[in-house]
């Protein structure tokens, strides 16, 4: 059984974090580790204790803002799990989201990185651009499951994956080098060569 850590990139806006933690608490197994990656921001402790799943989370903080790449680096270095998931604060996950992303990784041994379909992204992951509120998101997730089933699609170029949500096998992180997570996020030509032609394939699974 693979162990999983979820890191949430937080740069402010407590209400957006509330959305993400609420959806995680409702749609994610209790044994999955959740790490809040505070990027140069402080949470009001009293307000934070009212957040969903607060008793499940661990905190990782920095005194200054360093960006999403540095936050991923902290997720990789401060956990020892087999699979790493990075979420942007404000993302709302739907029922079955994690199982589908893990299934995308497992569908081919070369798959090392997977991201979901979504209602808000600049690339082809944005399969449902018109859903907005929570009720629409749930309905859209059901429609995505009906439409796509267990289908996995590849994205090319690989760096076009949105950093709002993705799941990565630790082997990929170790191959790239966690000390420079921007290489993982950008998947530059040098990194592609380092990993080999088929080391990382992005699977787009429904969320």
The per-residue pLDDT for 12 is: 82
User: What pLDDT sits at residue 198?
Assistant: 32
**How confident is the model at residue 113, as a pLDDT?**
80
pLDDT of 69 reads 82
- Cα separation, 169 vs 187, in Å, equals 15
Q: What phi and psi values does residue 193 have, to the nearest 5 degrees?
A: -65, -40
Mean pLDDT by 10 residues, the chain (207 residues): 92 86 91 93 83 89 87 91 92 85 84 71 59 65 71 62 77 72 45 39 32
Indicate the pTM of the whole model: 0.76
The answer to whether the CB of 166 falls within 8 A of the CB of 205 is: no
Strand order in the sheet with 33-38: 57-61, 33-38, 4-10, 83-88, 165-169, 113-116, 202-205
**Residue 133: burial class (beta carbons within 10 Å; 0-12, 13-18, 19+):** exposed
Determine the Cα–Cα distance for residues 145 and 128; give it in Å rounded to an integer: 12
pLDDT at 136: 67
Report the pLDDT value the prediction gives residue 94, as an integer from 0 to 100.
Answer: 80
């Amino acid at each position: 059984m693979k162990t999983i850590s979820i890191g949430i990139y937080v740069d402010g806006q407590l209400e957006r974090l509330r959305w993400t933690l609420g959806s995680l608490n409702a749609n994610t197994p209790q044994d999955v580790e959740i790490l809040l990656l505070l990027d140069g921001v402080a949470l009001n402790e009293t307000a934070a204790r009212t957040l969903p799943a607060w008793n499940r989370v661990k905190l990782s903080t920095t005194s200054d803002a360093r960006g999403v790449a540095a936050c991923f680096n902290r997720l990789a270095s401060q956990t020892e799990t087999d699979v790493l998931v990075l979420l942007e604060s404000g993302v709302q996950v739907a029922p079955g989201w994690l199982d589908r992303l893990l299934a995308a990784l497992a569908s081919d041994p070369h798959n090392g990185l997977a991201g979901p379909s979504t209602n808000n992204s600049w690339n082809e992951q944005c399969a449902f651009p018109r859903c907005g509120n929570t009720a629409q998101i749930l309905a859209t997730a059901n429609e995505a499951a009906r439409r796509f089933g267990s289908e996995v699609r590849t994205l090319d170029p690989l760096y076009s994956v949105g950093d709002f949500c993705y799941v990565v096998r630790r082997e990929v992180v170790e191959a790239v080098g966690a000390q420079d997570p921007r290489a993982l996020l950008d998947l530059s030509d040098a990194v592609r060569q380092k990993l080999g032609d088929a080391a990382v394939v992005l699977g787009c699974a429904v969320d």
